[in-house]
Amino acid sequence: MSESAPRKPVLSPPGRYLRLMLTLVAALFATGCASNTDARQEEAASTAPATTPATTEVATPKAEPAPRSPTAQPASSRIAPSSLGASLLAILEETNNPVTPPENAGNGAAHLAFVARLIEESSAAQQVSASDNPAAHLRRNEARAYYRSAVAASAAGNTEQAGQLGKKATQMMFMAVRLAESDEVIGAKHERDYMRRLESVNALLDAHQRVGAEDELGTDFSQTREVIRKQVARAETLHQGGQLEAARERLDAAYVALKLSIQAARDGETRVQTLDFASKEEEYEHELARNDTHQKLVSLFMQDSNTSEGMAKMVDNFLGKARELRQQAEDQADEDDHEAAVNSLTESTGQLIRALRTVGIFIPG
């Protein structure tokens, strides 16, 4: 029996378009080179000297036929450059043409209709259309190509492939939107986020004051608000100086510190025990994230702290013990003793809380 010929891979529309475009460009270049060669040959023939009169007989050797240029083609088989250009433009126009929802109502048609609206009619589509970023338009055209391939797969009954191609079209469109966002748009969004965070911090400051008054938590608890207000003032100074990222980092630290202080005051040390963990390993992961949060808070508040040399040594001592206990917890977790690891992490976080109290952030418990 004869072996069947190997099947060639089927290119998806983006790959097919790219390969065909490269082939057309190469052919157009080759045709242009051949045309230039013909033009030079015609010019040389027109300027050649007249032939010797018939009365003069000169024995001349037979000239060997000149080797044909590998790019030269018979006139009848050459492709006109204008024809190539038209083909190339036709492909480019196809990728730029808007897509439409599928006509049939088969499986996955609703999702494909959503993808078509996302590419052509949504606010995201309008943002890409208004963008002057060529990369954004290229990604949108890729989304269109994937969408057309998804519709073709759906029509052929391949629902799974249609779904995958539809997701790929959506991903390309989201990439187009991100590329279309100008620096002004991104800057405005970051500015809005900063102002919202500032409002949240101010609201938590008010809540912190109410909790302190209701629970009669004393001066240590109220001192936390003074430290936070200084942190907010530093954030505003950075914000006015155009250092939005650094300003937001300080606001985030203030927000988390206030939340931790309020939660500890209201819930106490029993808060962790009331959480429902599926296993000790899950509880360990929770305590690990909690420990990370407290470490970051100590680092940020120490940057702007006016603590004395003696107080700074106390903080370093707390941090050293916290690191040792953290390493001990990680070693215990590596040995699958997550119960002991949780206890070690809780002790480590307790050392970090003491460090925070030293720099003015009082967390009860």
Rounded average pLDDT over 321-337: 94
Domain boundary among 271, 286, 306: 271
**Is 283 found in the same domain as 262?**
no
167 assigned to some structural domain: yes
Under the banding of pLDDT at 50, 70 and 90, the label for residue 223 is confident
CA distance 227 to 15: 59
For residue 237, the model assigns a pLDDT of 92
107 assigned to some structural domain: yes
Tens of pLDDT, residues 239-291: 999 899 999 999 999 999 888 888 877 765 444 445 678 889 999 998 998 89
**Is 143 found in the same domain as 98?**
yes
Strand, helix or coil at 346?
Answer: helix
Rounded average pLDDT over 331-345: 94
205 assigned to some structural domain: yes
Collect all residues with Cβ–Cβ distance below 8 Å to 114 and sequence separation of at least 6: none
83 assigned to some structural domain: no
258 assigned to some structural domain: yes
Burial class, 256, CB count within 10 angstroms (exposed 0-12 / middle 13-18 / buried 19+): middle
CA distance 11 to 17: 9
**Is 363 found in the same domain as 302?**
yes
The chain-wide mean pLDDT, for the chain, equals: 75
For residue 275, the model assigns a pLDDT of 62
If you write DSSP's letter for every residue of 45-110 in order, what string do you get? Answer: HHTSPPPPPTTS----PPPPPPPPPTT---TTTPPPHHHHHHHHHHHHHHHHSPP---SS--TTHH
**Is 279 found in the same domain as 237?**
no
4 assigned to some structural domain: no
Q: How many CB atoms lie within 10 A of CB 278?
A: 7
18 assigned to some structural domain: no
Q: How many CB atoms lie within 10 A of CB 239?
A: 19
Tens of pLDDT, residues 180-194: 876 667 778 889 899
**Is 123 found in the same domain as 139?**
yes
**Is 167 found in the same domain as 100?**
yes
**Is 172 found in the same domain as 100?**
yes
**Is 358 found in the same domain as 301?**
yes
**Is 216 found in the same domain as 155?**
no
For residue 142, the model assigns a pLDDT of 93
For residue 11, the model assigns a pLDDT of 45
20 assigned to some structural domain: no
**Is 266 found in the same domain as 294?**
no
CA distance 20 to 14: 10
CB 139 within 8 A of CB 169: no
* 333: containing domain: 275-365
CA distance 275 to 269: 12
Sign of the Cα torsion 351, 354, 359, 360 reads positive
Domain boundary among 137, 161, 181: 181
Domain boundary among 271, 290, 320: 271
Q: Give me the number of domains the chain comprises.
A: 3
Tens of pLDDT, residues 284-328: 998 998 898 888 888 878 776 666 777 788 889 999 999 999 999
